[in-house]
Structure 1
């Protein structure tokens, strides 16, 4: 976050007005954050407001009164019995860039140039104070306003890892009295489980109400927006048995008032906490120079997804206690410590609309249209919502302010709505009854299917362009220069009136004469809607042709270089292995792994077509669902027509038996980790395919990992693999891995 601009405020009267407005906003947001566990803005937005207030007070010092939010810590509620801390729990000042961190360091080490720094992560949890008297836990309290907190002792006692009685050692005997400061948090995996359980409970409640014929369906419990809210809401429960079920944890990071123990450094206090049996922050170091501290900050920001808990920054403290005392503190924060806040990966934005896209197998998928927002280094305008049940489970309304999350290389995801921000103008999303592209009635493909699908698989423009895009991809025919724009042009041109392709059967028969006259709209890959020029008109291209002047000045329309390459690559693609041909047919449920299994077992597309459902289901990696889908696909005349046209064009329809046998050992000796959702197969199916080829599947990434298979929503394992320099392949690359081995698949 850069410096706050106060240039437009030139007089004290204007400054007072803005100061009052900011103070009201910050106080209200603190109440929602600390008292209600329901913030309506992101941490980054709150930090921006607070930094503006600080900048105002630096310009107009008379505004920095004791009542200013800059001089206060959080708020105090009356939900629980109030208790005073023996020593105030101060907050931390923040810095947002390396320059400001260096400035802070230079300021606090003027009189101690050789000072060491205690560096630790900044947990995104709920600050607590544990009071131990003669070693026994006598009280647990929230931070509150820093002086007075809430008594949550009964709930704290249910948290795994918090000792009810301290242990002592010869070096660190149990003190007569000590306040232990720490952070209550919920691990990432437990947070996901908690929200998944709520989603399931909400859906089951709705289904039960519908089955009973009720017209008013239950709203259910809202999902937790993030692990911090989950931890805070779980600790501040009136019923301690609810807290017990939430899998909360604690990390201690300091001490307050004490009798019978006096540390000489922050790191010395950590040693005592661990000796007494308290869990502490493990990811910490003592840096002897500022450059070492800065390197720690950089390392933790790049590896934050490796951790099983959420962090939003790093905390840098002067390690020596005597130096800390000399530096002192303001009314709200110590001068000897600061928090370096990382760039936000979770932001708030407006959900403008929910639209529906149609995939290559007809699946209708809702997606969010968002007010553009920058998160995790990129601007996000769309996010998937998976299906209508997910929209209901998340309780998202059109017009909501929503929490948007994007961690690492993960697809943007709406986590939850910010319910307190609603003003009544929001509206519920209703799944459309008809396909947005061909107007066919949407319906489940089979009983019990949660997804709606467009049944017009032959004529629906969306399905055809998506199938064509898919078959040109790396896991199918791998046709370079045949991307989404080309596929739209071949199936939905503005000119000529009749498209070159009415289905994928004619793709290998395309000619230069067919490509030259094509003029087409450029569609957005996410929405299927036309992209716009700067003047607001639809963007139109001639993707395969260009005008060239001969030496005598006569204009000729000629093929672009990319079109020439595409035609050449189409000819090369005819010799691709059988499994790629099977995958390119876009049979529902048949992905690269199932296609490979079918090619291995039958070696001939005609044999697959003639096989019974029982014969197909007996194949390892196929099963009854895929077998039924294959039989259904081949029962459609125009599907068979695609196969026959490809055959007539020279596409390979049989597999060499010697090649099939050689595939079996392609991963001999390789150690493979699988993460995320893989297209076309389950995690178990993918693991079975790796093992069948001699590979070993493990659950965690390490230096011994040969390759990471990263599907959609790959998380911390992906980040760790990138950090360690381990090869990563996606769902499409997985098929290459199985057929061609590790070296070939990871060198592309």
Structure 2
């Protein structure tokens, strides 16, 4: 018979602390068994009694409230915007594949990278891809301390208070868990729960497009009580930092997460061949509609963790995993109009305006038409598509939507074409500024030649500059940018990126006599003193920005996130990158090597002649240099990149070129290994090259290394140099 509990009034402080520790552990166990295991061991009344006793003790001894207290599942609303959390290990996205052939190519690429023989065993896991919000849960000493969204992969939002309201997420892990571990997975909402929530929300005039958006919106509430009222769930399927190894295979570690109390997907299986992967994909696809939650594909991962380590990562995704997306969902509607949008590079993109139609639970009113050839029925190769059928205003069209991909028009129904329809004529002048629109030879895109005089390009360049993966300035959305750009007030005008960082100074310089003037931002509808301060603070926070973000934000053609990161990792500082770009001399003919700076840029791993030419051309233009100088003068500082170097690596910081045939591993694996050790891998040899690893068949690069006096070693010496047993 259990000993009667001591009354709260009779507890000493020491007894109260011990009781709170016991209650926290016991209630966490009941939560795990109820929400994750669907096997409760106490009645609702008994569970409520435990919660009430915990609350009563905390009320008498408020200073004893624990971080993992059951009371904190409600908590108080965090003040202001969510704080940022920097992930100890990046939360990268997965590459997507869409066809069976793509899966064959993925498996082949993994085998090729690892230099595996066709008969060598290679096991993958396959699991449904949950359509939810990615989340990282950090546990220290087995207690939940932080919960963060994916964000940009490096930094996410701190939503710990809200995550604590999700009953099936353990607040404390069992004793066999490491001292530090980050459990990662997906916050989602079941479809039935979503539809019930929609009915309740409709009364307030607020709705969500789908369960995924509903889950994300519920999790980002400032008041945890609101989040607590939403039926959120969590699937665990991955991990980040861990103070000790969690296992040897993907499958076994995920099962261990299940043992700790997390909900894991029971449809996850191991597959030993491409055929098994595809068979599992089609099985899950067939039962998709019967699942209680939304999925948009199947995720494949190499099962062995040592092979995952060898495969490593690209800039935004792991080489050892991919997401096989389901076939796009389709609908039929009417094309009402074709509009032309002008992008930041002058590209003129046709956009279809549609009679609204629901595709996959989302109301679609716009769709991409890609380019003028696509409208005519011509593909990228110049061959007919849609059997040569063109697309016209008034056509009944088939619209396709796949996940978050922009909807597109696949085809038309020719039998429904109006008798008076006419072929669409693509404009040869910019619809914004009236400048000529030209299409260069070999390109599918027509571009406005207006450059800086075209307001559409200027606005789009600013939008790109403040976008999420560039400067990511909160409060400068599309409407705000257009307002500032179109303003005729000197204290409000933002015509170029540098103007963003002088806005506060210009506003504060206004004389006091203008307190009621619409030149003051706080007097303008939609702003106000509080929102203005938030905007200024958000701008000031971004005065220091990562080098790769700065380079990406400049909007240089062909330099997206990946190439910006490659350049940042190589040059380490903006001064070095700019100096090389301004001094580079491009080859004038086939035999002309250019100069050393050109060779350095084009030799950066992954950067070829097209990208290098775009970079050099950018800095060759005076107005581009002036725009950059204006940014620096306005107080913007691109932070130097910290070289990624392994501890005690003998090749850290060195520039290495691999040439010839490598026999003990693939070229890709060799490059990835060198980069993990902190080296820079270049594609060509220059005077700045530190080491050339030459295999059989090495040609011109070996000759150049000899001419420049660069050290040359073979593959065995490479392994000896880095202390690695091949």
Q: TM-score, normalised by structure 2?
A: 0.40
Q: Which has the larger radius of gyration?
A: 1
